Amino acid sequence: MKIETANNHHAIAITRAFDNLAKAASH
């Protein structure tokens, strides 16, 4: 997933959290 608003730390944190959830779900 690509974050266009690199200055939005909250968006980055949320994206990383969802990415971690997706990885956990795949396992």
Mean pLDDT of 1-25: 81
Structure tokens that stand for 17 in this block: 């959290």
The overall average pLDDT reported for the chain is: 81
Return the SS3 of 3.
coil
Average pLDDT over residues 5-26: 85
Place of tokens 């909250």: 10
DSSP 4: S
Please write the tens of the pLDDT for every residue from 9-19: 788 889 999 99
pTM of the model: 0.52
Q: 6: which DSSP letter?
A: T
